[in-house]
Amino acid sequence: MKVLIRLMKYMRPSTRWVVLSTALMLLGTLLDLIAPWMLKQVFDKGIGDSNMKIVLVFVLGLIVLQIVKSLGMFWQGWAQELVGQNVVYSLRSQLYNHLQRLSFTYYDKAQTGQLMSRMTGDIESVKNFIGFGSMAMFMGVATFFGTIVFMLFIQWKVTLLCMASVPLLLFALYRFNKQVGPAWGQIREQMGRLTTTLQENISGIRVVKAFAREKVEQNKFESRNDQNFETNMERAKLEAKAFPLMNFYGGIVFVTMAWFSAYFVAKGQMSLGSFMAFQWYTWGIIWPLNMLGWQINIMQQALKAAPRVFEVLDTPVDINSETGNSHDANRIRGNVTFDGVTFHFADQNPETDPGILEGISLGVKQGEVIAVLGSTGSGKSSLIALLSRFYDVSSGRLLIDGIDVRDYELEGLRRKIGIVPQETFLFSATIRENIAYGVPEATQEQIEWAARKAQIHSFIETMPFGYDTIIGERGVGLSGGQRQRVALARAILMDPPILVLDEATASVDTATESAIHEELLEVMKGRTTFIIAQRLSSVKRADRIIVLDGGKIVQQGTHRELFEEEGFFRSLFKQQEAASAR
């Protein structure tokens, strides 16, 4: 019920269309109820009294009535679809907007396939109910009760007698509703899992092929497909059992009506016209009850799909500007202070699990270039993820220009931090659009300037359409290093006071890396830069190097200072020197 009420709220902006559609539906129902009564007049007053004028009037009346009803139903269907589309439109937009605002903590766990299936199939199920099922159900109920009222007026005894089997029909419907609901719940969930399998397979197709796992993946998909097939067949079995039974009960209603009507006509307690009208009216009882089975299907599907959408909508946005004072980020110059920062991921227990970062205290001045070194998993990426508030610190403070990052307006803060992440993501758009992603209004000169700094300009020039070349999804068509350089150009173009390079040159050859670093020297001027790198060549120009181990800063100093100390830095240096000598 709660789900229904919540869905109804989405209809509020379309109130006038709901009113129009309901009014037209009621009008259609009323005309449907009047028609058999007119037929009764044809028999009783026309044929009965041999008055062909009355026959003609009522027959013409019936034609007009059908025309009016058809026109009404056209507009009713249109208005109803409009309501359904409006609901889906706002639900889909709301879901998409919410997905944009949810933090990394949510996406760390979310399954893309599940989200896709909620955004498409589940929302479509909701539309089918709002845009068609709900009104059809309402129309059925109105027709059912309206018919009974009309029949009671004409011949109440026959009406009550032929209603005797209706409770059986209602019971069959009640049972069907109870059983089909869980089946639809399972089907919606299975569709989500099926889409997840499909999405993961397509995204990871290179790994699948490289490890020759096509057969295994195929089996995985088939087993989920089978599950879905089985559940759908279970549901179909429920329908196959319930629908003929309902038809049978409906048949009983008809037979009872025919028998008792004939009996009452023979006894002179019912006119022939009423007998004919009852033939028609009986369908006003049987039809809604039979259709109710299908409508319950549509409703249950929507009632199981809607909570899946609401679940995402109800996930709180844990990182937003509302927690702070929304300081204007435009004033950011780039002094960064980690003040006793500790960080746990959401699924960790801060009481028992060691922090991903623990007691980090570090002051970085505007324009300083800081290299962050450490073995894999030591917390380097996590450290910089806190800067842009991809995650919030668990304790301690992270300040930029003396202001807690949580007190900045979030979008502004992120625009002031240019990040070249470990894994580059490029959109299926032109190279120009990809570089200008953060600054869509950038001029061609600015884009080319950034591309030159990232050592990618001359390569772009050789592409068939230069900066207008469309690169495939995720940058297919570019090598790993080229993709990384496009991402670097994207960050440089933002002209941010803080630049973060997370293994930003790991995929390029050493010669290109050194050229990029030459260019970056100028780019980094005046900007606070964090460089995460494994190669010492990438960090030799850093003003300061910090070494992380197990989430703690274990070494800190200049290249020379650290070289003179025993520790991670010196052993890394020796390892790399030995490797290059080989």
Ligand X SMILES: Nc1ncnc2c1ncn2[C@@H]1O[C@H](COP(=O)(O)OP(=O)(O)OP(=O)(O)O)[C@@H](O)[C@H]1O
- Using the rule CB under 6 A, which residue among 356, 451, 520, 553 binds ligand X? 356
CB of 349 to ligand X, least distance (A): 12
Q: How far is the CB of 548 from ligand X (least distance, A)?
A: 7
Long-range CB pairs of 475-480, under 8 A, 24+ apart, other chains included: 475/424, 475/425, 475/426, 475/434, 478/426, 479/507, 480/424, 480/507
Shortest distance, position 316 Cβ to ligand X, whole Å: 18
Which positions from 518 through 547 interact with ligand X, judged by CB under 6 A? none
Q: Point out which span in 61-69, 245-253, 287-295, 376-384 binds ligand X (CB under 6 A).
A: 376-384
With CA atoms as reference, report the closest residue to 81 among 12, 125, 129: 129
CB 104 to ligand X: min, Å: 7
Residue 553 dihedral angles phi and psi, to the nearest 5°: -80, 120
Residues 390-429, interacting with ligand X (CB under 6 A): 422
Decide: is 564 part of the binding site for ligand X (CB under 6 A).
Answer: no
381 binds ligand X (CB under 6 A): yes
CB atoms within 10 A of CB 51: 12
| Nearer to ligand X (CB atom), residue 186 or residue 576 | 576
350 binds ligand X (CB under 6 A): no
Position among 8, 19, 93, 108 found at the interface with ligand X (CB under 6 A)? 108
Q: What's the Cα-to-Cα distance from 40 to each of 49, 55, 153, 511, rounded to whole Å?
A: 13, 10, 13, 96
CA angle 357, 318, 2 (to 5 degrees): 145
The pair of three-digit structure tokens given for residue 267, joined into one six-digit string: 């006894």
Say how many Å lie between the first and final Cα of the chain, rounded. Answer: 72
Q: Is 342 in the site for ligand X (CB under 6 A)?
A: no
Contact with ligand X (CB under 6 A): which of 376, 458, 462, 580?
376
Shortest reach from residue 468's CB to ligand X, in Å: 34
Q: Per CB under 6 A, does 382 bind ligand X?
A: yes
CA angle, 288 as apex, 186 and 174 as ends, to 5°?
45
Q: Does 378 bind ligand X (CB under 6 A)?
A: yes
Contact yes or no for 333/408 (Cβ under 8 A): no
Contact 242, 176 (CB under 8 A): yes
CB under 6 A: which stretch of 222-230, 369-377, 463-471, 536-544 binds ligand X? 369-377
C-beta atoms surrounding 474 within 10 Å: 15
Angle between helices 444-453 and 480-493 (to 10 degrees): 130
**Residue whose CB is less far from ligand X, 24 or 356:** 356
Interaction of residue 345 with ligand X, rule CB under 6 A: yes
To ligand X, the closest distance from the beta carbon of 487 in angstroms equals 16
Rounded distance, CA 175 to CA 173, Å? 5
| Among the residue ranges 280-288, 375-383, 535-543, 574-582, the one whose residues contact ligand X (CB under 6 A) | 375-383
Q: Which residues in this chain contact ligand X in the complex, by CB under 6 A?
A: 108, 345, 356, 374, 376-382, 422
